[in-house]
Amino acid sequence: MKIAVTSQNFRTITGHAGKTRRFIIYEIVNNRPATEIERLDLPKEMSMHAFRGQEHPIDGIDYLITQSCGPGFIAKLKQRGIEVIITEESDPLTAVNTLLNSL
């Protein structure tokens, strides 16, 4: 399972997910603890708000955690097979673990 977290500073979870260009990617394998596997730092035209292409670097993610987003963003990611989770948590790993505990 892969989980992306919106994080413009790579330290805390940020909102405005449609315009976010930086993501921390975690992977969970065989019920082991979540491991950070990648940090995406995309150009402006790759934000989901601006993106109009077919394949996006976050394709293949199972969940995306953010602090805020609009219904259009949720619908766009749902079409890509990604479930959006909105949280008030600011720590990325804590939010990932909270999601995992709820599944």
Q: Please tell me the distance from the alpha carbon of residue 64 to that of residue 86, in angstroms, as a whole number.
A: 8
> What confidence tier does 69 reach under pLDDT thresholds 50, 70, 90?
very high
Q: What is the pLDDT of residues 90-101, one digit of tens each?
A: 999 999 999 999
What is the model's pLDDT at position 53?
Answer: 81
Taking the CB of residue 16, how many other CB atoms lie within 10 A of it? 16
What does the pLDDT average to over 4-15? 96
The boundaries of the domain holding residue 53 are 2-102
Distances (CA, A) of 23 to 30, 31, 40, 56, 60: 23, 22, 5, 13, 14
Query: CA torsion angle for 91, 69, 80, 30 (degrees, to 10)?
Result: 20
Give the number of other Cβ atoms within 10 Å of residue 28's Cβ. 18
- Which pTM value belongs to this model? 0.94
Structurally, how many domains does the chain consist of?
A: 1
Per-residue model confidence (pLDDT) at position 40: 96
The domain that contains 97 carries what CATH number? 3.30.420.130
- At 57 the pLDDT is 93
- At 28-51, the pLDDT tens digits run 998 889 999 999 999 999 888 888
